[in-house]
Chain A
Amino acid sequence: ILNVEQSPQSLHVQEGDSTNFTCSFPSSNFYALHWYRWETAKSPEALFVMTLNGDEKKKGRISATLNTKEGYSYLYIKGSQPEDSATYLCALNSGYSTLTFGKGTMLLVSP
């Protein structure tokens, strides 16, 4: 059983704050790492797929880094806005057809 851990479990920041959270995974089972953004009452939406050690991806104010040797990925949000409030999920693809998800980090951004 693959263990994908996310921390913190939840986070409450003020508008304009920058924030980051962590996804840890077993480095020996790595093929790709996915980040999803899940807003309440909506579907999880893909943010990034990361495959190479040292990968850095960016979409607007959101960016992610990957360290496959030590088994972690960071997601950063610069200048958080209320519309960034969501649960951020990471999922490990270990080379098979399925994804193993972490429990997510719930972010609340207050105006």
Chain B
Amino acid sequence: DSGVTQTPKHLITATGQRVTLRCSPRSGDLSVYWYQQSLDQGLQFLIQYYNGEERAKGNILERFSAQQFPDLHSELNLSSLELGDSALYFCASSDRLAGGYNEQFFGPGTRLTVL
């Protein structure tokens, strides 16, 4: 158990809908990362937050947004969902902003299915 929790575990929704994925980092970790794992793709980095502030952006669509709250949990909001958004979404946390070895600890993921 990495200490990172994600809810829900599975989510099934329809095209055009909006969903929110939630992540709680390991105790003491200030950085939260969101990744998308689609079929035949590696883990694609979406966005990073550090202590409530956005710090790095990857291949995140404009329809997606995230935030990190004062208690350090993070939410990833996906709107106007399309079939191609079906994927496994991982959250990871780290105890640093950058530098060092930046070892990241992963949550169990949320499997999103868009019908």
B98 touches A46 (CB 8 A): no
Interface string of B1-35 (1 = CB under 8 A from A): 01010000000000000000000000000010101
Residues of A within 8 A of B101 (CB): 32, 34, 49, 51, 93
Task: Give the size of the chain B interface in residues (CB under 8 angstroms).
Answer: 29
- Interface size range on A against B: 20 to 34
Which of A49, A98, A104 sits near B103, CB closer than 8 Å? Answer: A49
Nearest chain B CB to A3's CB is how many angstroms away? 11
Interface contact B2-A45, CB-CB below 8 Å: yes
Assess the B31–A45 pair: CB atoms within 8 A.
Answer: no
Is the Cβ of A43 less than 8 Å from the Cβ of B98? no
Given contacts A43-B2, A89-B42, A104-B42, contact A97 B103 (CB under 8 A): no
B66 to chain A, nearest CB (A): 14
Q: B45 contacts A100, CB within 8 Å?
A: yes
Whole-angstrom distance between the alpha carbons of A101 and B102 in the complex?
14
B 64-77 to A, binary, CB cutoff 8 A, 1 in contact else 0: 00000000000000
The CB with the most chain B CB atoms within 10 A, among A36, A42, A43, A51, is that of A43
Interface residues in chain A, defined as those with a beta carbon under 8 Å from any beta carbon in chain B: 4, 32, 34, 36, 42-46, 49, 51, 89, 91, 93, 95-104
